Structure 1
Amino acid sequence: MTSRYSFGGDEHIFVEVDEAMSLDAFFKSLFLCKAIREAGIKGVTEICPANASFQVKFNPDVIAPDDLLREIQALEAASGQAEPVLKTRIVEMPVLYNDPWTHETLMRFRERHQDPTGTDLDYAARINGYPNVTDFIAAHAGSPWFVSMVGFVAGLPFLYQMVERARQIETPKYLRPRTDTPKLTVGHGGCFGAIYSVRGAGGYQMFGITPMPIYDPKQEVGYLREAMTFFKPGDIVRYKAVDREGYDQAVRDVDAGRFDPLIRPVTFDLREFSKNPTAYNHSLEGVLHGH
């Protein structure tokens, strides 16, 4: 895995860790961003991680572009000796699949979809080889997801399914983007899941909706008082399918300030995961639920 470096104007260096999306590439990107941050290189003003890549903004009056490039390349060379272990957290997120709000929206924009005769869940289940929507939902909620990047709009996480590549859910985006997507929609495009932090345009397939706010600019939600965005790269998400009654209760709890997300600290070891993803995911489940 050889990184590709390029300059973006006079104030940016762009580093593409790998062309392929993988946990290995995400880890290398995260570790390099952390190493650059901890190195305290004079002139670096911002580090922006993305999916298997990142960008560094710098002041060229403080550090020459070629000097910064050499500094980052040296950090990359040293990072090859680091153990792929990440201290992070696992979060349980309730989801009402096949909800009425995303259903109403997807029906409004059916002419922009690959299959105007069904729903996004019908389509995703079929092209991923599942016999029905129930089995597809079980697969979507049956394994954890790794937050590889947060951005595009404030607080929106991109999530990568933590299963063998052959089992990963993949769906194309809409043929033409929608002009509307409900807030907190759980969607999917390509190999990535996403949770829409705000209402707005979008092109990902829509599978459901979560009652759990992930972005609060007013910081009134209890667990968002210290930071207005919930997710950060490296978080692990485990979806929990809930029925309409469970969804409505969670909404009431959020409104009353009683909603408390299930969050547990966890140390994720990429090597152990790679040996047996299914067994490792079971161990993560044990951490989450204390068994």
Structure 2
Amino acid sequence: MKTRYSFGGDEHIFVECDEEMSLEAFFKSLSITTAVKEAQIKGVTEICPANASFQIKFNPDVISPDDMLRELKSIEASAASGESSIKTRIIEIPVYYNDPWTHETLMRFRERHQDPSSTDIEYTARINNLDGVDGFIKAHSGAPWFVSMVGFVAGLPFLYQMVDRSRQIQSPKYLRPRTDTPRLTVGHGGCFGCIYSVRGAGGYQMFGITPMPIYDPNQTIKYLRDFMCLFKPGDIVKWKPIGRDEYDATVADVDQGKFAPTIREVPFSLTEFQADMDGYNTKLMGALK
């Protein structure tokens, strides 16, 4: 698909890199928005990257919409010839699958689900031809996930599984949204995973919960004092299955200011990843050891 540009009133340009999500479309969006930031175009007030698109907000009194459009098209041409590689981070996120809190919630809203007779993990395992709950956890946690977007609610990451499309976990949202979702629920809708940064309404399937806060507007949590949101687009997530004892111990460590997330700086090459996905993922996850 050719990049599609459209104006949003007098102050925004929306740029669609592709009609469907892919790592190629995400990298195109990321490379252009990074180049826009580095160009320091006078009049640009906000850059909002998304899964396969982005939006630029600008001051039309400083730069006209047509001039802004010309700048973006010029940057797109330059970015297209650049390398598909970034310096990023891989972050280990502990997950207590089938925890009691999301289980209580999903049972409370069972009439809104496609299959009221099973849990969200059981349903998703079945429609993805996985071997029950254990097979699902192995598939979900066995490969890393890209953070393709942060938003919708503050600090919430959208996560794209880094495997061949035929192996990606797919699961629809609830038939009707819930009015409640526990904070730090690990969820899934369509091809995207997420972590609910705050408690609230939601429609994604619920698989578990992490004891590791990812958003702190008060910035009292030790590892969120520099910035209230943990994630940024381009980060890579590795899920780590844990049990109740480790969950409780981690919650206590967070409360006491003793918990430090496992984060490593890593390079990522889209070209090398596409040449050997499983081998490249193994190398990425090995950086956490």
> What TM-score, normalized to structure 1?
0.98
How is 1:187-266 mapped onto 2 (pairs within 5 angstroms)?
Answer: 187-266=187-266
Q: Deviations over 1:101-160 (max 9, x none)?
A: 000000000000000111000100000001211111111010000000000000000000
How is 1:37-76 mapped onto 2 (pairs within 5 angstroms)?
Answer: 37-76=37-76
Q: CA deviation at 1:40?
A: 1.1
Q: Please list every run of at least 4 consecutive aligned residues from structure 1 whose deviation after the TM superposition is greater than 3 angstroms.
A: none
Q: CA deviation at 1:232?
A: 0.4
Q: Distance in 2 between matches of 1:131 and 1:89?
A: 31
Aligned to 2:277: 277
Aligned to 2:181: 181
Aligned to 2:131: 131
Aligned to 2:20: 20
Aligned to 1:94: 94
Q: CA deviation at 1:251?
A: 0.5
Q: Distance in 2 between matches of 1:205 and 1:24?
A: 26
Q: Distance in 1 between matches of 2:95 and 2:286?
A: 20
**Which sections of structure 2, spanning at least 5 residues, go unmatched?**
none
User: Which letter does structure 1 place at the counterpart of 2:279?
Assistant: A
User: Which letter does structure 1 place at the counterpart of 2:119?
Assistant: T
Aligned to 2:3: 3
Q: Deviations over 1:203-222 (max 9, x none)?
A: 00000000000000111111
Aligned to 1:157: 157
**Which sections of structure 1, spanning at least 5 residues, go unmatched?**
none
Q: Distance in 2 between matches of 1:229 and 1:44?
A: 23
User: Which letter does structure 2 place at the counterpart of 1:87?
Assistant: K
Q: SS in structure 2 opposite 1:288?
A: coil
How is 1:116-127 mapped onto 2 (pairs within 5 angstroms)?
Answer: 116-127=116-127
Q: Distance in 2 between matches of 1:254 and 1:37?
A: 34
Aligned to 2:140: 140
Q: Distance in 1 between matches of 2:220 and 2:51?
A: 30
Q: Deviations over 1:78-104 (max 9, x none)?
A: 111110111000011100000000000
Q: Distance in 2 between matches of 1:131 and 1:230?
A: 33
User: Which letter does structure 2 place at the counterpart of 1:127?
Assistant: I
Q: CA deviation at 1:55?
A: 0.3
Q: Distance in 2 between matches of 1:33 and 1:242?
A: 36
Between 106-115 and 59-68, report the one with greater CA deviation: 59-68
Q: Deviations over 1:33-58 (max 9, x none)?
A: 01111111111111111111000001
Q: CA deviation at 1:263?
A: 0.5
Aligned residues: 289
Q: Distance in 2 between matches of 1:80 and 1:196?
A: 34
User: Which letter does structure 1 place at the counterpart of 2:92?
Assistant: E
Q: Distance in 2 between matches of 1:176 and 1:224?
A: 34
Percent identity reads 70
Q: Distance in 2 between matches of 1:2 and 1:78?
A: 15
Q: RMSD in angstroms over aligned alpha carbons?
A: 0.6
Q: Distance in 2 between matches of 1:193 and 1:145?
A: 8
User: Which letter does structure 2 place at the counterpart of 1:88?
Assistant: T
User: Which letter does structure 2 place at the counterpart of 1:5?
Assistant: Y
Q: Distance in 2 between matches of 1:231 and 1:2?
A: 29
Q: Distance in 1 between matches of 2:77 and 2:131?
A: 47
